Structure 1
Amino acid sequence: MITTETLTHPFPGLRPFQEDESHLFFGREEQTDELMRRLKQHRFLAVVGTSGSGKSSLVRAGLLPSLYRGFMTQAGSRWQVAILRPGDRPIANLAAALSQTFADHSPLDDPDLHRMVTETTLRRGALGMVEVVQHNQMPTPTNLLVVVDQFEELFRFKQRAQGQDANPKFDNAAEETAAFVKLLLAAVQQEEVEIYVVITLRSDFLGDCAQFRDLPEAMNESQYLIPRMTREQKRRAIEGPVAVCQGKITPLLVNQLLNDVGDNPDQLPVLQHALMRTWEKWRSESDPHQAIDLQHYQAIGGMAQALSQHADEIYLGLPDDRARKIAEILFKALTEMGTDNRGIRRPTTLSQICAVAAAETQDVIAVVNAFRGPGKSFIMPPVGDALTGETVLDISHESLMRVWKELQKWVDQEAQSVQIYQRLADTARRFQAGTAPYLQDPELSIVKSWRNEIQPNEAWGKRYDPDFELAMQFLDESAISADKAERQRRRQRRWVLLVMGGATVFSSLVALFAVYQLQQAEFQRMRQYEVTAKLLTQTNPLEGLKNGIAAVGLGRSNFLKFPNLKQSDLVSEDILLQPSNQVLSKILRGHEASVGSVAFSPDGQSIVSGSSDQTVRLW
């Protein structure tokens, strides 16, 4: 009888298939056979494909089980397999993988000592891996397979090292990576022991292989570019695991899934995650005898939304803001925007995450477990593996960076923060060398705002540049220098305003004095005309009258020009009515209305006048 308890989980989600899940790995049988053929022929194999094409799953759940079953007939079925990722310590990581693989055959009982001896042997020369195999007492015939997963990490390590010349951690980066590649190539070229090497590599890093001598030639001889899965292969990858776990799925849903995934190989991890979520929805809500159908798939958001919605549910379901902040710091630390704007993984130890987040180990572990619990394969290692300070954490797949909207935002923010910090550290070094000044606005304000918002610590800073203390000290000194300069500018502005204020007052006084002088001059002219008019009244009445008219007119003009004058300051019009002036006056009568115009004859003997009574008279 079928019950939900007897049904296991057929889909791994975002993480790769593992060796013990080969019974769930469908649709890649032809590709697995081709890997076997090429590895048998060359002992070196580069499995190349786009992100999400299933490179790791093909090697782990396809190739390895076939080797264990003895399908490579000339080599037999006795295999020792060392799986590693190069990270930023490729030779040390190779030593750790080999010492773990040979743990049962080593003459040394102390695992740490065994690892140290192995690493020392590897660093001795290009045939170091051959020596390691010979020093360990393995039964013959035994084959050693070294699987270097995520080989592109080697290039990222080298790129970061080229920009970190002052960091002792990266002093010998070029030598480290070159020596690691030599170890791999020399191991497959010698004939003393049976060593095979398989690497998995993202195709967009294929051109970087030219950085290493002999690696392009080796890859040209034995490279497998993973082809797109056909529609029928993808159908088997959907229906096969369901059948193994005694479930059923409707043809309608299978066709919908095939249509949604399309031909893009990048969608394969997203398909696996959508299938995992759909299976969980079906198990939680339906009778086990009922087939998985379209409504279960639609309930989890479909291919387009399932992953992002699932990640959001976990993130928002964390107990408090502090836990959510730790999650943000965790994913920022595990991801990286490359120099070519490619989103890439950045495996980091648990202890480093704790230092960057300034959090206790148990608090970080609680957040990590929330994202790697059953049916939540967002972070590796998988649930069940104990976490220690030295455990390397990693996102399960790059597709998480492309599909989870919140993570996309975090990756962009981290890239901007790194850019600001690295520019600050570089400027600090140039200032120390005397080739750059202190920061000034607007850059100073931008960097200060960034520090106040991000609050970076030394553990975070040294992941990207070793001179964290120098950078922060330079920022503080720049702020002090800017404040000092601002205070100086304020003092200068106050002095300028004071001087300008004094100058304005002085100018106003000068203007007032000038007006006063003009007023006095005009007043004196008016009085001069008045005095002259009075003096000439008896001796020269006509000139006296002219001066009187001038005095009266000038007084009226001054009254309009200088508002401070009073009526009493003006010359009275009575001066024009002096008795002596009467002899100059003769009244001509005849017009019945006002006279508007008068003209004198050239000889001064006649006058013509015009009036508004419509008459003109000659006098």
Structure 2
Amino acid sequence: MLPFKFLDAYGKEDKDRFFGRERETAQLYNAVFAANLTLLYGGSGTGKTSLVNCGLANKFYPSDWLPIFIRREKNLNFSLQAAIARHLDGQQPSDFREWPLADQIQRLYLDHYRPVYLIFDQFEELFILGNREEQQSFYQSIAHLLRARLQAKVILIIREEWIAHLNEFEKVIPSLFDNRLRIERMNDLNIARVIRGMAGQAEDPEIRIEDPKTTITRIIDNLRDKHQRVDLTNLQVYMDRLYRTDLERQGGSEVRQVTFDPELVERVGRIDNVLGTFLEEQLMRLENQLDQQGVPSVKGLPLEILFTLVTEDGTKQPMGTAEIRESLPRNREIQPEQLQYCLNEFQRLRLLRALETSE
């Protein structure tokens, strides 16, 4: 089993390989107890989602919290209602979705007797894709929920460049910025700790870092973007490429130990090339699987589907399968279930993020 997670965020089960964010995890844990609304923000690629999914999640016993993760999809208010409904025990009342948010949350709490945590990931999508009516409706619902003083907390996860768009939200909830936590980019020392920790988790074969100071320094240098920043999500892909490349270097059969050394890092090269190769590999794999399912003319089809879903900001554009099929060139034929398979794979591999970063 390969030891790295590609572009996916860390989850609760990844506790043993989540490194370098101990201080921020403790700060977030304290923040969510300080108030019922927490604003978590930072640059893209700083690991905000992983901090909640893995760091914060492992601070709780399962009986201490009921986490509900919400992404906007087509409308944040509808997605919130659907997420709550999925967590109800037993049959929900026929008019449940017409209830005020506070009443829905109270019903949910009585079902589980655990504090409810509404975690809004990639909250900036409300401003990238939403309209004023959707935004104002959401603001009022959250304000009403907070005034109700229930066993419920709200965590908003947002890219820091979208903070300025919260001014209308602040007018509804003046305390919006009172309990906030900014996730800074890791310095080189902490990134080196993460690299050592990730390598130390590999078991079969294990990973040895030769000439650690030079090797790790070159890895970090190859990860820097044009602004000299290191995206922690990209680190997973890069470490995987190092791992696979050394397996190939050793012949790939019955390798007992993988070695990361300066020569290997030089061979793998910069992250831009690695992400481009990763994207090509995953799209080719999808083409092969669609071909096996009988989809005609699959060459380039996954990439065309992917492009229909990308906004100018590099985020996922909410579109149904019918809308996507209509957006494809007329010579493309794909059945809804096969298209849904592609969408599930894009979601699993976070290929929208790979496409954005590789541009």
Contact 1:333–1:353 (8 Å) recurs in 2: yes
Q: Secondary structure at the match of 1:218?
A: coil
Amino acid at match of 1:271: L
Alignment of 1:470-481 (within 5 A): none
Contact 1:145–1:195 (8 Å) recurs in 2: yes
Matched, 1:267 2:245: no
Contact 1:83–1:147 (8 Å) recurs in 2: yes
Amino acid at match of 2:56: L
Mapped to 2, the partners of 1:95 and 1:267 lie a distance apart of: 33
Per-residue CA distance 1:248-289 (angstroms, 9 max, x = gap): 231143221123334844522222211122223334554223
Alignment of 1:279-428 (within 5 A): 279-283=243-247, 286=250, 287-315=255-283, 318-319=287-288, 322-337=297-312, 342-357=313-328, 359-364=334-339, 367=342, 372=345, 379-381=346-348, 395-397=351-353, 400-404=355-359
Q: Secondary structure at the match of 1:253?
A: helix
Distance 1:362 1:92, change over 3 A: closer
Per-residue CA distance 1:211-251 (angstroms, 9 max, x = gap): 33546733320111111212222112212122123322311
**Cross-structure match for 1:231:** 188
Contact 1:53–1:265 (8 Å) recurs in 2: no
Q: Secondary structure at the match of 1:270?
A: helix
Q: Secondary structure at the match of 2:140?
A: helix
Amino acid at match of 1:268: L
Asked which structure has the greater CA Rg, the reply is 1
Mapped to 2, the partners of 1:116 and 1:329 lie a distance apart of: 40
Mapped to 2, the partners of 1:316 and 1:139 lie a distance apart of: 44
Matched, 1:255 2:241: no
Distance 1:39 1:248, change over 3 A: same
Per-residue CA distance 1:363-412 (angstroms, 9 max, x = gap): 4356557xx4xxxxxx2135xxxxxxxxxxx6452x531314xxxxxxxx
**Cross-structure match for 2:136:** 178
Contact 1:82–1:98 (8 Å) recurs in 2: yes
Structure 2 unpaired stretches of 5+: none
Aligned residues: 336
**Cross-structure match for 1:385:** none
Contact 1:277–1:306 (8 Å) recurs in 2: yes
Amino acid at match of 1:380: Q
Distance 1:290 1:278, change over 3 A: closer
Matched, 1:129 2:104: no
**Cross-structure match for 2:84:** 98
Distance 1:381 1:355, change over 3 A: farther
Per-residue CA distance 1:403-462 (angstroms, 9 max, x = gap): 14xxxxxxxxxxxxxxxxxxxxxxxxxxxxxxxxxxxxxxxxxxxxxxxxxxxxxxxxxx
Distance 1:308 1:57, change over 3 A: same
Contact 1:88–1:154 (8 Å) recurs in 2: no
**Cross-structure match for 1:219:** 176
Contact 1:315–1:324 (8 Å) recurs in 2: no
**Cross-structure match for 1:278:** 242
Mapped to 1, the partners of 2:341 and 2:123 lie a distance apart of: 30
- The counterpart of 1:144, out of the listed 95, 112, 116, is 116
Mapped to 2, the partners of 1:185 and 1:253 lie a distance apart of: 51
Mapped to 2, the partners of 1:302 and 1:402 lie a distance apart of: 13
Percent of aligned pairs with the same residue? Answer: 19
Distance 1:188 1:401, change over 3 A: same
Deviation at 1:204, TM superposition (A): 1.2
Amino acid at match of 2:276: S
Per-residue CA distance 1:485-523 (angstroms, 9 max, x = gap): xxxxxxxxxxxxxxxxxxxxxxxxxxxxxxxxxxxxxxx
Per-residue CA distance 1:57-107 (angstroms, 9 max, x = gap): 1111111221237xxxxxxx52111101123311110011111222xx23x
Mapped to 1, the partners of 2:96 and 2:245 lie a distance apart of: 48
**Cross-structure match for 1:50:** 43
Q: CA RMSD in A?
A: 2.8
Mapped to 2, the partners of 1:239 and 1:115 lie a distance apart of: 52
Amino acid at match of 1:13: F
Mapped to 2, the partners of 1:344 and 1:175 lie a distance apart of: 21
Deviation at 1:330, TM superposition (A): 1.2
Mapped to 2, the partners of 1:221 and 1:295 lie a distance apart of: 49
Q: Secondary structure at the match of 1:224?
A: strand
Contact 1:81–1:101 (8 Å) recurs in 2: no
Contact 1:19–1:61 (8 Å) recurs in 2: yes
Contact 2:170–2:176 (8 Å) recurs in 1: no
Amino acid at match of 1:150: Q
Mapped to 2, the partners of 1:117 and 1:293 lie a distance apart of: 62
Q: Secondary structure at the match of 1:209?
A: helix
TM-score (norm: length of structure 1): 0.50
Mapped to 2, the partners of 1:244 and 1:230 lie a distance apart of: 22
Deviation at 1:305, TM superposition (A): 0.9
